[in-house]
Structure 1
């Protein structure tokens, strides 16, 4: 899968670039590279740490060999963007598998220098990962996928930087494959979504959530393992110790619950309707709250007033978008 690939030929400049980063005089650098801009700006310290650990410093320090003018365009997440994923220090990056961190960084980079005036809403842009991103307008702000663009057109010696408020995520796989990758620790070092994968297999829904020719794009709200444990404790009266505990519930009940987490169309948070109700794949309603700071609370009709928070938003898959949430959405 694309998430397991790393950069190849471009890594040859990594050692020299690291020496440059550690020893250069930033004030003397009158025409800094993209990497040097990140080093000089304290609000990009997490991006700098991620680039070092992900092995892309050499790429962003040098001219782009795949562009006639040697340029890149980079959507650069701030420290606050990384913090939204619980990544606040360089040590926190160890929670991510290095290949996934590398491909995540690639997803923020494209060939050529693109000023924001050439990226209006509706534009689809490629990335070094090979997966496209789309520009979205909402409430007078411009977004790339679900990430709001905070600052634009920062010029560097080897391209242009646009600053964003979220880290963009893409897997290069379909929804089921992406969930399996999370559950088998290919993304985070600690497995996640293990209960969801077990539930999908139990209810034989893997085919419906997988990509195939002509299959529709989907938005999936994926409850964390803790969200399923909380539900099982409530329904079974005891703490769950294994994803297999899902199978203690009637299959038709679990199926109805799972379908309540799927809505048609692959939509980023920037595209989800606020204060609105959408019919799920199970024909039961999913209710959205107010759009605030790039996310919306979401709840099922059976959740009462208790909404789920989107804890990992906007994961781009080949057949839609996944939003990881902290509560199971219950149907009526």
Structure 2
């Protein structure tokens, strides 16, 4: 997190839960020390001494003594860390995903040894806003904006901070979704205006497209090779130079904000005949790619239900929800979202179970949507409520539909394609469908 990138955000105190096992004597001593240090820090920063001292005690009582110690020693060594501590005592509502002692014991060593990285990690565990009235059971998902907005780790549209997703799974427990390790809330408590969700793993900050895809080999095994097989002309705004780059590069680092509906490997196998029939038609393949992408806008699952958006091809993507899950429709094809909200550094993936075989396009609608997305991205927002809360409330198991404002897209005209042969198409896995952004893309 760069010193200049963290804008003070409203954070509130955490709320821990009581642990079942007593802390070792050494950890008890560390926790007592953290209370003393926290008190000293607060007097320097003008923080609420009583509040921070109480928070440190609650963390200790909840099995998070190491987190309390880290906060009062390592975090306090940097300006940004001090800012986080000040925000925690501001009195504003927060949700704090607090890794317990066991979580830190199994975390990579560089989590705690690198103070800059540690500050970013703690920021990703802090979510401003009141979520007390929100409880979602998967495939419904709760999403919130964290305090993480380090531009080296987050490249969403409009400088937005990174999101976090969680839901109650079939085991009745709350899970933080799409993590390398299954992160479960093992206890919940409150302290002041902070809700403390004690978790059993340190959370992973969402990574790049390139580093995320290998984590889902079951569904997305061939994406890197597949997306690398298709190139488009791409305009680098910083150099004003255009060059051909692979679609993989564009999704990995070229876009600041996108939503990608990624057919899994099974979906592509089922669509094999249709895909082979398009292998010699570059225009149709271009439209097919574009109709799996919302360019310029990161749209999470809680914002999709009952809405319509414009794809990068200028076609309508409509969304519905019923007792069997959430669905996306393009043209005459509908797919179920089987894995929502795979969060990325610069966008989001929703894995779907069917290829959206829509080869239609509307350049005018695409251009209009691109303009709207660009305008929306310039609007400064500080979100302190569940993302898509009004839409999430309607996920009740019955089908819902409706129109929403069109969002991200780009002009689909004048694109250069290097089209792979039919054999390559069949082996592409989900990647076959997700890429063409249309027109000459500009690196934001």
Q: State the TM-score, normalized to the length of structure 2.
A: 0.39
Point out which structure has higher relative CO (alpha carbons under 8 A, 6+ apart).
Answer: 2
Structure with bigger gyration radius: 2
Q: State the TM-score, normalized to the length of structure 1.
A: 0.49
